[in-house]
Copies of this chain bind each other. A is one copy, B any other.
Amino acid sequence: MPQLRKDPLSERWVIFAEGREERPNEFERVERRRPDARCPFCAGHEADTPPQLARYGRVDGTDGEGGAGWLVRVVPNKYPALLAHGRAEPDAHGLYVACDAVGAHEVIVESPRHVSSLTQLTPAEVQWLMVAYTDRLRALPRVSGCKYALAFKNVGPEAGASIEHAHSQIVGTTMVPSEVARELTASRRLLRQLRQCFFCRVVEDELTHGARLAAISDRFVAVCPYASRMPYEVWVLPREHASHFEQQEPEALEELAGFLQRVIARLEARHPQLAYNYFLHTAPFDTARLRHYHWHIEIFPRLTTTAGFEWGAGYYINPVPPEQAAANLRW
């Protein structure tokens, strides 16, 4: 059973998931997948993954390359970091606190074709991907004990991807993850201070002066944050206040699909073969509409490596100011 342990000093949680050692590429981060290896995510290889949780595409099942019958599919992760059943209440063991790592770990295969970046997906595939995110965020609260789900994407070995074929992951957890909890606390404080949602204020400021605005559409903006940790870090936010991603309307999701693809295409134009992560920060399941929180997608290009200083100090060193990154990405 994977275990969740808390560090008494930093209060950081660590998931110990021993089975994951067996997954492809663990401890072999640099090499790309061997061209002769069989890809478990390609059309026709559906039996290589655990049984499908959801599929997206035309209802008659005629779409997908070679009539795969799907454009996007959701499956349980074969090497899950968390398991569906166990004891989620933390117990103290002397100095330490631990519990079973209970939750959900799913994979969203983004295309039946063997492509690696979001920019290689068809518009329909990206749109179904956005729909799949909202569907899983709606479905996961029904999974025993889940309070939160983090949707994220790893592209390239430097970004921790162990499989090249374009895919996202969703991890459902019984606690609100610390990064999200930290944002929730800080944004509540900032609402009192600014008398306005912090994120709305950032959007407003950037739409006014534009120094860190990287792209814009009717409903969305892409901003390089003032204190970007990584060169070319970009956050995508809705222009209208919205705390819960899963409450976005279908037309907004359709627009977001094209917008996200455009932003990543600009990053890749600047840095070919870019390795990157992105992750979706949204409000916890058990909250109603929050005035202080605003969902957003953080895109993290992996252009620099965190080294001893970053790990030891908790400070980041970024050689590219966000104003310069935004100017280079601007529409």
Contact = CB atoms under 8 A, between A and B. Distances in A.
Interface of A: 3, 5-21, 26-27, 29-30, 81, 94-96, 150, 152-154, 157-161, 169, 171, 173, 177-180, 182-183, 186-187, 190, 194, 198, 201-202, 205, 225-229, 231, 271, 277-281, 298, 300, 303-321
Q: How many copies does the complex hold?
A: 2
A308 B227 contact: no
A319 B311 CA distance: 19
A171 B314 contact: no
A6 B81 contact: no
B205 A94 contact: yes
A317 B271 CA distance: 28
Name A's interface SS.
Answer: mixed
A29 B158 CA distance: 9
A180 B313 contact: yes
A156 to B, nearest CB: 10
Given A8-B190, A14-B316, A316-B12, A311 B228 contact: no
Nearest to A170: B309
A9 B186 contact: yes
A308 B277 CA distance: 5
25 contacts: A8-B227, A9-B182, A13-B315, A14-B229, A14-B317, A15-B316, A15-B317, A15-B318, A21-B320, A26-B304, A29-B304, A94-B205, A95-B226, A159-B305, A160-B304, A160-B308, A173-B313, A177-B314, A178-B314, A178-B315, A179-B312, A180-B313, A277-B307, A279-B311, A300-B308
A73 B227 CA distance: 34
A171 B16 CA distance: 33
B154 A315 contact: no
Contacts of A173: 313, 315
A227 B317 contact: no
Contact of A95 (B13, B205, B321): B205
Nearest to A154: B307
Contacts of A29: 158, 304-305
A271 B10 CA distance: 27
B314 A179 contact: yes
Contacts of A317: 14-15, 17, 20, 81
B183 A303 contact: no
A16 to B, nearest CB: 5
Contacts of A160: 304-308, 310
A311 B226 CA distance: 18
A30 B308 contact: no
B12 A226 contact: no
Given A15-B316, A30-B30, A169-B309, A10 B183 contact: yes
A287 to B, nearest CB: 17
A307 B159 contact: yes
A309 B150 CA distance: 7
